[in-house]
Structure 1
Amino acid sequence: MSELARRIAITIGALLIFRLGCYVPIAGLSPQASVIHSSAIARLSIFSLSIIPYLTAAIIIQLVSVVWGRLSALERSGEAGRRSIMGYTLILTLLLGAFQAFGIASALQDIRGLVVEPGAWFLTATTATLVGGVFFLVWLSELITRHGVGNGLALILSVGIVVLLPSEVAGALELARQGAVSSNLLLFGAVLWIALVVLIVLVEGARRNVPVQYAARQVGKRVFAPRSSVLSIKLNSAGFLVPTTVAPWILYLPLALATSVIGQTPRLAAAYAHLQFGQPVHIVLVSIAVFVVAFIYTARVLDPEQSAEALHKIGGTIPGIAPGEATVDHLDRIASLTTVVGAVYLVAVSLIPEVLVLGGTALPYKIGGGSVLIVVCTILDLKNQVRGLSRAGRGGERI
Structure 2
Amino acid sequence: MDNWFAKLWRSPEVREKLTFTVFMLLIYRIGAHIAVPGLDVVALQEQFGALSGTLFGVYDMFTGGGLSRATIFALGIMPYISASIMFQLLAAVFPTIEKLQKDGDEGRKKLTQWTRYTTVALAAMQGYGYSAFLQSFPDAVRTPGFTFVFTTVLMLTVGAVFVMWLGEQITERGVGNGMSLLIFFSIIQGLPSEMVRTWESFRIGEIGPFALVALVAVIIGVSAGVVAMTMAARKIPVQIPRKVVGRGRIQEGQKSFIPLRVNSAGVMPIIFAQSFIIVPGTIAAFSSFAFLSGIADVFQPNNWVYYTTYAVLILFFTYFYTSIIFNPVDLAENLKKQGAFVPGVKPGARTAEYIDRVLTRITLPGSIYLALIALLPFWIFDIFGITTFIFGGTSLLIVVGVGLDTVQQIQQLLLVRHYDGFMKKGRVKMRGRQRYM
Q: TM-score, normalised by structure 2?
A: 0.82
- Alpha carbons 1:186, 1:363 under 8 Å: kept: no
Which of 350, 364, 367 aligns to 1:340? It is 364
- Alpha carbons 1:22, 1:42 under 8 Å: kept: no
Q: Which residue of 1 aligns with 2:431?
A: none
- Alpha carbons 1:63, 1:296 under 8 Å: kept: no
Q: Which residue of 2 aligns with 1:5?
A: 15
Q: Which residue of 2 aligns with 1:327?
A: 351
- Per the TM alignment, residue 164 of structure 1 is displaced from its structure 2 partner at its CA by 0.7
- Percent of residue pairs identical: 30
Q: Which residue of 1 aligns with 2:275?
A: 249
Q: Structure 1: which 4+ aligned runs deviate by more than 4 Å?
A: 30-42, 252-260, 357-361
The number of residues matched between the two structures is 392
**Which structure's residues are more often helix, by fraction?**
1
User: Does 2:127 match 1:117?
Assistant: no
- Per the TM alignment, residue 30 of structure 1 is displaced from its structure 2 partner at its CA by 4.7
- Per the TM alignment, residue 272 of structure 1 is displaced from its structure 2 partner at its CA by 2.7
- Alpha carbons 1:26, 1:126 under 8 Å: kept: yes
- Alpha carbons 2:44, 2:137 under 8 Å: kept: no
What one-letter code is carried by the residue in structure 2 that aligns with 1:296? F
Q: Which residue of 2 aligns with 1:367?
A: 391
Q: 1:40 to 1:237 in 2, by over 3 A?
A: closer
User: Does 2:129 match 1:103?
Assistant: yes
Q: 1 CA distance for matches of 2:279 and 2:299? A: 12
- Per the TM alignment, residue 220 of structure 1 is displaced from its structure 2 partner at its CA by 2.2
Q: Which residue of 1 aligns with 2:330?
A: 306
Q: 1:183 to 1:119 in 2, by over 3 A?
A: same
User: Does 2:289 match 1:265?
Assistant: yes
- Per the TM alignment, residue 155 of structure 1 is displaced from its structure 2 partner at its CA by 0.8
Q: Which residue of 2 aligns with 1:29?
A: 39
Q: 2 CA distance for matches of 1:330 and 1:204? A: 23
Deviations along 1:339-398, one digit per CA (max 9) or x if unpaired, are: 112222122112211233455654531221111111011110111000001111228xxx
Helix, strand or coil at the partner of 1:28: coil
Q: 1 CA distance for matches of 2:116 and 2:66? A: 28
Q: Which residue of 2 aligns with 1:316?
A: 340
Q: 1:296 to 1:162 in 2, by over 3 A?
A: same
Q: Which residue of 2 aligns with 1:234?
A: 261
Q: 2 CA distance for matches of 1:185 and 1:361? A: 8
Which of 243, 246, 255 aligns to 1:217? It is 243
Q: Which residue of 2 aligns with 1:20?
A: 30
- Alpha carbons 1:185, 1:363 under 8 Å: kept: no
Deviations along 1:150-175, one digit per CA (max 9) or x if unpaired, are: 11111111111111111111111111
Q: 2 CA distance for matches of 1:381 and 1:79? A: 23
Q: 1:107 to 1:301 in 2, by over 3 A?
A: closer
User: Does 2:415 match 1:388?
Assistant: no
- Per the TM alignment, residue 334 of structure 1 is displaced from its structure 2 partner at its CA by 0.9
Helix, strand or coil at the partner of 2:417: helix
Q: 2 CA distance for matches of 1:308 and 1:285? A: 36
- Which shows bigger deviation, 386-395 or 182-191? 386-395
What one-letter code is carried by the residue in structure 2 that aligns with 1:15? L
- Per the TM alignment, residue 181 of structure 1 is displaced from its structure 2 partner at its CA by 1.5
Q: 1 CA distance for matches of 2:149 and 2:227? A: 45
Helix, strand or coil at the partner of 1:231: strand
Which of 152, 175, 179 aligns to 1:153? It is 179
Q: TM-score, normalised by structure 1?
A: 0.89
Q: 1:161 to 1:300 in 2, by over 3 A?
A: same
User: Does 2:225 match 1:205?
Assistant: no
- Which shows bigger deviation, 51-60 or 139-148? 51-60
Q: 1 CA distance for matches of 2:180 and 2:230? A: 16
What one-letter code is carried by the residue in structure 2 that aligns with 1:196? V
- Per the TM alignment, residue 245 of structure 1 is displaced from its structure 2 partner at its CA by 2.4
RMSD after superposition: 2.8
Q: 1:143 to 1:189 in 2, by over 3 A?
A: same
What one-letter code is carried by the residue in structure 2 that aligns with 1:367? F
Deviations along 1:111-155, one digit per CA (max 9) or x if unpaired, are: 334333221000110121122211111111111111110111111
- Which shows bigger deviation, 87-96 or 34-43? 34-43
Q: 5+ unaligned residues in a row in structure 2: which ranges?
A: 1-10, 50-64, 420-437
Q: 2 CA distance for matches of 1:64 and 1:257? A: 27
Q: Which residue of 2 aligns with 1:166?
A: 192
- Which shows bigger deviation, 46-55 or 282-291? 282-291
Q: 1:391 to 1:340 in 2, by over 3 A?
A: same
